[in-house]
Structure 1
């Protein structure tokens, strides 16, 4: 495991994001990672993206996305949580030499257009592909070496079939000694066998099985009776 525990020791907890229950619980108890693949799930605003962004910053990845040791935007300071979060485990080398990548759905398209064809990235022109095809090209190219790979809602651009392809990429990362931390709303990704799922909400953070997840229950109910949710 590259990272087996995450802690946070802010000077003050009276401001955002420490007021978000999952972040407050992270400050209080820390978070132990005991499997190569970890998912954070929760409603919008639950803090999952805030936490994965801070983990990326603490490891040396640009918060807007990209690989270790490279900055997509150089003038952005670290977030407040990124300044105070601490990573523990088998972290080797300085931040420029570490293997890793942060795929952030909301900024991925701009980043991919900026670096396509540059040394150390992919040769294909992802601007000539669909959004989903571009995502898979990036994942297949950048998620190879053992390292820390962080994703924020990667399913945003992916179809059902493409999500299954992402699951296979995740399995390969874990098999080769890498580690993944992923914030997601996807019942497909979170079903990956052997992964740990943390559910974030007003309760804070709790470990959950796939079948117990609220998002899985909501999808199950919707697929069984969509008209109930459509008001018909």
Structure 2
């Protein structure tokens, strides 16, 4: 039993009764305030209650600097909120995990375990390690989780148009579009419960951006993964079935402050 699972069993003994009648969720988070300070300026993002349904893609829509990445950092367990009323995570076949409790207790080992096992991340620039081949980059998260499934990875590579010959090459030899498809494969390699993508099409031309968006939206739910994508281009996510959450920022009441809010 993992350390996180042990905490889950102890801290969530009442969760079964509370969530028995709820639709299948990936997470629920409520009463969030997350603040950053830099150079005398202060930025604060707030959000009411968000219930994220399993396998329903969600797009965080807003201009640069509106707070999309801040929310992804909170969901990705790499930023400690200033205020948090509730934060529950629902693995597909295990007890719910009270992330708010882990954060309150500063349980870094438990949070690290959650990130490793259940979260996938696709950064804006791909984030591939230059000293590893394409194949090694893709397999990295699966190896770290002891979930290396070659048949699944072969299927994933085929669907993402990543031929076997490409697996021996290095990131510097790839086009931008190829790097983003490799980044998506790596994020999905260990079959995470939740995939967080931060502006994955920002550096792509319109045609390639549409192709990468289509792959991200189509393939993630197909393999049991729920994607949350930060984007400044709402047009890419206009299809039915995509939940759009608008993030808006405005000048705060105090000098050198910005207040942002997620519209649920």
Same fold (TM over 0.5): yes
CA distance in 2, matches of 1:119, 1:133: 12
Distance 1:152 1:96 in 2: 16
1:125 aligns with 2:170: yes
Within-5 A mapping of 1:43-54: 43-54=63-74
Per-residue deviation at 1:5?
1.2
Equivalent residue number for residue 90 of structure 2: 90
Partner residue, 2:49: 30
Higher mean C-alpha displacement, 46-55 vs 137-146: 137-146
C-alpha distance after superposition, 1:123-158 (max 9, x if no partner): 542210122221112213532535211011001232
Given the two structures, how large is their TM-score scaled by the length of structure 2? Answer: 0.55
Cα offset, 1:196, TM superposition: 0.3
RMSD: 3.3
Segments of 5+ residues of structure 2 without an aligned counterpart are 1-23, 96-112, 141-166, 250-259
Structure in which a larger fraction of residues adopt strand: 2
Map of 1:156 onto structure 2 = 202
Q: Residue 55 of structure 1 contacts residue 87 of structure 1 at CA under 8 Å; is this kept in 2? A: no
Give every structure 1 segment of 4 or more consecutive aligned residues whose post-TM-superposition deviation is greater than 4 Å. 82-86
Whether contact under 8 Å (1:105, 1:154) holds in the other structure is yes
Deviations 1:173-221 (A, max 9, x none): 11232101111012343223201001111472224xxxxxxxxxxxxxx
Q: Which residue of 1 aligns with 2:261?
A: 204
With over 3 angstroms needed to count, the CA separation of the structure-2 counterparts of 1:79 and 1:204, relative to structure 1, is closer
Q: 1:96 to 1:153 in 2, by over 3 A?
A: closer
Any conservation in 2 of the 1:46–1:201 contact (CA below 8 Å)? Answer: yes
Name stretches of at least 5 consecutive residues in structure 1 with no aligned partner: 58-77, 208-232
Q: Normalization by structure 1: what TM-score?
A: 0.62
In the TM superposition, what are the counterparts of 1:211-230 in structure 2 within 5 Å?
A: none
**Counterpart Cα distance in 1 of 2:239 and 2:192:** 19
Q: Residues 141 and 104 from structure 1, CA distance in 2 versus in 1: closer, same or farther, beyond 3 angstroms?
A: closer
Counterparts in 2 of 1:39 and 1:195: CA distance versus 1, 3 Å:
same
Alpha-carbon separation, structure 1, partners of 2:63 and 2:49:
21
Partner of 1:215: none
Structure 1 residues 123 and 38: alpha-carbon distance in aligned structure 2, compared to 1, 3 A threshold: farther
Question: How many residues are treated as equivalent by the alignment?
Answer: 177
2:158 counterpart residue number: none
Cross-structure match for 1:5: 28
For residues 187 and 261 of structure 2, what CA distance do their matches in structure 1 show? 32
Partner residue in 2 for 1:100:
119
Indicate how the Cα distance of structure 1 residues 45 and 179 shifts in structure 2: closer, same or farther if over 3 A, else same: same
Measure, in 1, the Cα distance between the counterparts of 2:262 and 2:88: 19
Q: Distance in 1 between matches of 2:198 and 2:86?
A: 19
Q: Secondary structure at the match of 2:73?
A: helix
